[in-house]
Amino acid sequence: MTQNKEIIRYLTKGNKITPIEALNRFGCFRLSARILDLRKLGFDIKTEYVTKGKKTYAEYSLGGVNA
């Protein structure tokens, strides 16, 4: 299964995903590129920026699912 399919399947189950989680679950080093691919296919994917300590990272969810 392609990374795009794995990621969208994961998101449609109501999950959120971060870059480190995408790497660990799907071997995806470029989550933002996969998210762009999925958006171009018409998926409504929301981005939320999370800050913990001095680190900030993106967390993606499917629009309407975890909004």
Domains and CATH numbers, the chain: 3-62 (1.10.10.10)
Q: Which residues contact 4 (CB under 8 A, 6 or more apart)?
A: 34, 37, 38, 41
The answer, yes or no, to whether residue 65 has pLDDT greater than 70, is no
**What pLDDT sits at residue 64?**
67
Burial class from Cβ neighbours inside 10 Å (0-12, 13-18, 19+) for residue 34 reads buried
Task: Tell me the CA end-to-end span of the chain in Å, nearest whole number.
Answer: 27
pTM exceeds 0.95, yes or no: no
- Which residue has better confidence, 65 or 21? 21
* Distance (Å) of CA 62 to CA 43, 52, 53, 54, 55: 8, 22, 26, 26, 23
